[in-house]
Amino acid sequence: MPIDSVIYGYIANEELYQPNTTIIEEGKRGDWVYVVLEGRVKIKKATSKGPVTLDILGEGAIVGEMVLLKDTKGQRTASVVADGVVKVGILDRDRLEREYESLSPQLKGLIKTLVFRLEETTKRASVLAAE
């Protein structure tokens, strides 16, 4: 699926981040959902031995979606940091929320399961990576 057609009509704003600046901070509350338009971002998680980079994502990657999909006003589970200069699009949160709300409880339940499992697995991976 080409990313342009998927996000068309959803981008509410665009932001530019300088290298190594933080786009999303772990532990903070926030519910913006971003899509990487240009450049790359690092997904980092804090561990007992300092931050560990768990993944590097490029253009087309959507980040910050976990809070939306979990359907709770929760904390950010990982940090997203600009790896070089990065242009992100901020997605229309209201529209996304409306559309997500319209799904059946079963389907939403399955998506939430997926998100919770990703959260758990990421935690485990960061603990292992810090050893």
Partner 1 sequence: MAKKRKTPPVVHLSFSKGDLIIKEGDYGISIYKILKGHVLIFKKTADTKTSLAELGRGEVFGEMTFFNFLYEPRSASVEALDEVELEVWHPARLTEEYRAMPPILKYMSNQVLNRLLKMNRVVDELTKRQRQRRAEAEKAEPLGKRRYFRKKCTLKCRYHLAGSESRDYLLGVIADISPLGVGLEVAASNRRIGNHNPGSELELTFQLPPDTKITERGKVQLVTASKTPNHLLLGVEFENLSHYSKRMIGFFMMK
Q: Which residues bind partner 1 (CB under 8 A)?
A: 1, 3, 5-7, 10, 54-55, 61-62, 65-66, 69, 91, 96, 99-100, 103-104, 106-107, 109-111, 113-115, 117-118, 120-122, 124-125, 128-129, 131
Tokens at 41, concatenated: 């971002």
- Closest approach, Cβ 90 to partner 1, in A, equals 14
- Closest approach, Cβ 10 to partner 1, in A, equals 6
Measured from the CB atom, is 24 or 66 closer to partner 1? 66
Residue 125 to residues 50, 64, 67, 81, 119, Cα–Cα distance (Å):
14, 19, 20, 18, 10
- Closest approach, Cβ 40 to partner 1, in A, equals 15
Measured from the CB atom, is 46 or 54 closer to partner 1? 54
Measured from the CB atom, is 18 or 106 closer to partner 1? 106
Measured from the CB atom, is 7 or 46 closer to partner 1? 7
Longest Cα separation, the chain: 44
Helical (H) or strand (E) element with 125: helix 105-130
**Environment class of residue 104 by beta-carbon count within 10 Å: exposed (0-12), middle (13-18) or buried (19+)?**
exposed
- Closest approach, Cβ 60 to partner 1, in A, equals 9
Instruction: Give the helix ranges, DSSP H, for 24-104.
Output: 65-70, 93-101
